[in-house]
Every structure is written in C-alpha cells, then in structure tokens.
Amino acid sequence: MTSGSAKVGPSFPTLLTAYTARPLSITFDFVRLRSSFTDSTGTYDATFWVTGDALKWEIPDSEALLLSEWDKYKEPDPSDENGKMLCRLPCSAKQNQEIADVITTHPDPIKSGSVGGLINHKAPIRSHMMPEPSLLLTPKLYDLRWAQSKAQIKPCNQDINLPIVGESAKLNKCVNTQIRNVMKAAGTTTTIPNIIGDPGKIWAVTNDVYANREETVTRKNGTTYTYKYKAAVNYGWHGRNLQSQAVTPGQTVIQSVGMRHDATHIDYSQVAVLIAGWCEVTKPGETGPTFMRTEAVYRDQTLCQLITHDAKPLTVTRY
C-alpha cells in the first residue's frame, strides 16, 4: 500500500489548483453513456453524461521547469489546435473528488425530457433543476464506457517508481499516438472519437470506499510493520485478454477493483474521469425520459442496477 508517488524533479498542481488559477486550462467534454436493465416490471433505460477523456490541463508557458521535462516526450493532443500535449493530470481520490465538486451541470430546459436531452452548464437554470456537482464513476460505469468506446486503446504502463512528470508524459504520448492511429484507420484527421477507452485507471466509488484496511509492509532491512488506512478504490485500464476480470463478464482489466491505496495516493496512471450530476431515466411504462440527479440513481434500491454490478445501492458516493 502506498500513499504517494515518486516526487523527484518538477511536480504537478492539483486539478483544483489548476482550475482555480485558470478555469479554461482544464479541458473536458461530457458525452452520452447508455445503461439499461430489465426486471419483472420491465426495462429501465438511462442516459448518463461522462467525460469522453480524462480531464486535461494545458500546461502554461510559465511552468518552464515542468515543460522542460514534459516536452521530452511530446506527442500533440489531437484536440489541441496549437500542437501542445495536454496533460491528463494525475490525481489522488481526494483531488479527483475536489474537482468533481466544482464542475457542476444542469439540464437544458430546451431539451428537457427529450431523447438525447443535453446536460449543459450554460443553459438557463430552473429552480427545481439546480446545478449539481459531478461524481466519480462506479466500476460498472467504467465498463460501459469501455464497451461504448470506438477508441479502445491499449493500456500505457509506465514505471511507478520514476518521477511522475516524465512517466505521465510517456503515458500521454502513448495515449495520443493510439488515438491518432484510431483516427487514421477511420480515415479522418479531425474527428476525434467521443469516448477514449481507457485514458488510465480511475478512482471509483463503491460501498468499499473508506473501508478499514491494513497491510503488512516489509522494510529494506527485513523488518515489518502493519499499516492501517481507509481505502480508496481504483479500477480500470481495460483491454483484451488481460490478467484481471472486470466486474462485467467478458471484459478484462489491468486493475480489478482495488483497495491497496488510501485517498491521498497519486501515481501517473490515476486520472480523472467524471460523470455529470444529472441524468435521464425512463422507467417501465413511461413514454419518455425524466431528468434525475445522478446521485439519486446511485442510492436508489432499484435504479442502482443501472450503475452497479451487484445490484446494491451505494451508501457512499463521495470521498
């Protein structure tokens, strides 16, 4: 169990620090994600909105030391017109939650209740549909995201023991190169796939968040000690024929549902993927969808089947 990462050399700001300093330097897009299940009463359908890629940071020119390391591995981000390699900023579970709490969205009244209704933070606000903060995904939602991606790229493993900026840069180069290859195969240089699966591992929410854990650690001198901590849950890096089973049968991941880190752990592979605070749900017998708060779906005894693999509502939805 670790609660940090290699820190030699330049370091990253937190997502919230970068966002507070320059909100437009953090880039993301919410895209549609479908989920459904059927029980004895009929079929339930939902549209969620998740970020199509990890949240990315445009490193400012003022960060000369950071850029001197970052640009050693430069592969321009397909979404950046200036040829910069945007940074899928590594984060801890706590830092992931901090940025989720400030990125709020609410339904667009023009498309309320319509199929494909849009979550839009710029739309007029109605009193009964106030802006809601984003949430972290569940493992099942990350599986759905992978299944619905047209850019199913290979995991980009680096070395967790080396300085985080360089290893994160290598990850971003690897991800960007694969995205360009997907675009090339599709015959385009401009149309970026809506969902990139996977840009990294995520911090997920399950009922094991903050579970009491302990692990025996062996020091270099051969002695041991027991470390007690409250768990954060990490998950993902889908691919074909990998060593671990995903929560969805038939899918495999590098990281199954893991609880070996606390909520302060950071490494190059842990990136921020969010789900919007509103969603659309159509219940059996209904002719069209209704906007609901995503957190309410997470906690609902029945609707939780849209987002959990074990049909159990979440009792914990945030770090």
Convert 258-270 to b/e letters by CB count within 10 Å (16 or more is b).
bbebbbebbbbbb
Confidence of residue 1 (pLDDT cuts 50, 70, 90): very low
The mean pLDDT value for 84-113 works out to: 90
Q: What is the pLDDT of residue 10?
A: 86
187: left (phi > 0), else alpha (psi -120 to 50), else beta?
A: left
The mean pLDDT value for 121-128 works out to: 72
Q: What is the pLDDT of residue 111?
A: 67
In the predicted model, what is the mean pLDDT of the chain?
93
Residue 43 has pLDDT above 50, yes or no: yes
Q: What is the pLDDT of residue 288?
A: 87
Q: What is the pLDDT of residue 183?
A: 98
Q: Tell me which of 287 and 110 has the higher pLDDT.
A: 287
Counting every residue written for the chain, the total comes to: 319
Please choose, from the candidates 265, 309, 312, 315, the residue with its C-alpha nearest in 3D space to the C-alpha of residue 295.
315
The mean pLDDT value for 246-267 works out to: 97
